[in-house]
Structure 1
Amino acid sequence: MASMKDVHLFRRYLSIFLSLFQSLFSCFFDFPILIKIADSFLSLYFLVFCDLRPVTVDLDDGETTVHFWISGHRRISRPNLVMLHGYGGNSKWQFVHQVSDLSRSFNLFIPDLLFFGKSYSRNPDRSVEIQARSVAGGLKKLGCCCVEGVGGGRVSVYSISYGGFVAYGMAEMWPEMVEKLVIVSSGVGFTQKQKTAEMKKHGGDCSKILVPKTPMDLRLLIKISMNTGLTFVHWVPDFILSQFISVMYEKNRQELLELAKNLLEREEEPELTVISQKTLIVWGDKDKVFPLEHAYRLQRHLESSRLEIIKETGHAVNIEAPTTLNNLITSFVLS
């Protein structure tokens, strides 16, 4: 009991110290300076250690701008790999544990999906299809793939969670472009009944969980996404979590909420289209967002697919088991 009291006392003093630090720090800097500095360091890491460079592409519709990180020195001997993120920040924060390894084997193309990071559109459409068309349009502009008879080459697509819906749409609409598909922890093909059941488990309106507004919301999102729970997040003071929310969600909060509602509330087709591409399905056996049963269902639906299950891992496989996931992606795409 004494040790528990000591822990609680330590946490209390730490909280007081950090609150004082915040008050002092705010006298000199305008928040959210800490997260902006961290985001800048991530950009530097992508540039220096992963040989990636930022590119912004204006699409032909005159309304849409897509931001990419792409390999600075593309090699014809390496296949092209597109990486599509989910909710939870921009592409840098979600793929930071993977890009270094994958950049050694692939020419990488990593877009921020619309309203994440630096990608934006004035188009009022909030569907998965507009995301797929924006990514495909950007790839065509970058000259790395064939879209509707224009461009050259093919790409493999690795996607996680929300990105899986976008990747599936790309594979369906442009089979001449997408050669292989990796889907990680994505509820592709969810029926409205299944969506409702999953939303009830997490308190009803999942769009508010996906787009956190308070530190408590962000902690809940992490708790649901992680099997390990990232226990250190309990020690992160609220003002730092608030900065992360401010940088990642505030600018396009309404659009992000509309994207989530469109995904969660739209009616699915009676039967999910069967795509022709070879597909690798990867799932954490402790996924609380899209339970493992949905991975088996997707595997049964796709004849040219195989399923890999990662033990003791939750929804965020890219963060909890990045090395295992990288090895699976590399062996599948290069085989």
Structure 2
Amino acid sequence: MSETKNLLILPRLRVQNANAISSPMTWGFPAMSAFVGLMHALERKLPEHLDLEFQGVGVICHDYQAQAASNGFTHSFHLTRNPVDKSGNTAAIVEEGRIHLEITLVFAVRGESCYGADEETQRVARETAEIVSGMRIAGGSVVPPSLGKASRPRPWLEQLDDDPEARALQFRRLRRRWLPGFALVSRDDLLTQRLAGMREQSPEANVLDAWLDLSRLNHECRVKQVEIEGGKPREEVSWEIRRRPGWLVPIPVGYGAISRLFEPGEVTRARDASTPFRFVESLYSIGQWVSPHRLSNPEELLWYVDNDLDAGLYRLANDFPARHTATQ
């Protein structure tokens, strides 16, 4: 049975100059931590009369425009010109990757404001959308619809039915409204499977080897025997790109501790002297872009915080692998 009872949907948001550098090793789309951070910031900004608790967030990308130029295999970002320094020299450039997006945000919510007459719940959705329009999404600005064009689809609050069959029909209708587009989901299971397969041939293979193998295009040599009339068979060699099980991409999923937890104020020049401090590094996994019509339930779309403080893991999770396998 699904735990998600209500979905707050903000459709077709246009975001300008979002951060395209998701981690020290990946680029092309904001990290999911940026959208989870937006969810937490939005929950803090809600006025008292909006009783909403956010449980997870999903993102469907309908269009994108990376602010980068390509010259063969080399990409370079379009950078802004910084003002000159006090001596009149050109200031150092801090490289910033930017991307324009058109996305739909789907929040799993609960609270008293989720229930009531249809007119009241839609007022809650409109008020929440107005707050989001004044916030940053992955460092980018929400752009209003262009003048002279059709207005953006209205946000709405969907109350999911408790009956499984009615709920499934309800979610199928929602999926159609999110087309065309692609949703980013977690594929930790494929990383585990690839590592197991590599260790059958090379026992010393590690998770990094499996992650790199799934992140790149692998050219493989194919050799087949060709029969020749009146002569010996000869070998014919061809090179092919290994087919991957879907549109797979390397993604950051959080942070892992590389130091002990320091007491507040113990580390000099920390941003917040009243909060415990710990040095961390990025955690990586494999994600997959899937069309919304391939989702079976809301949990396959939603991302949420899944920290393990004892192990020093501060990461996000998505239930697509477990839920998708269970529905097949």
Query: Normalised by the size of structure 2, how large is the TM-score?
Result: 0.20
More helix by share: 1
Query: Normalised by the size of structure 1, how large is the TM-score?
Result: 0.20
More strand by share: 2
Higher relative contact order (CA 8 A, sep 6+): 2
Higher-Rg structure is 2
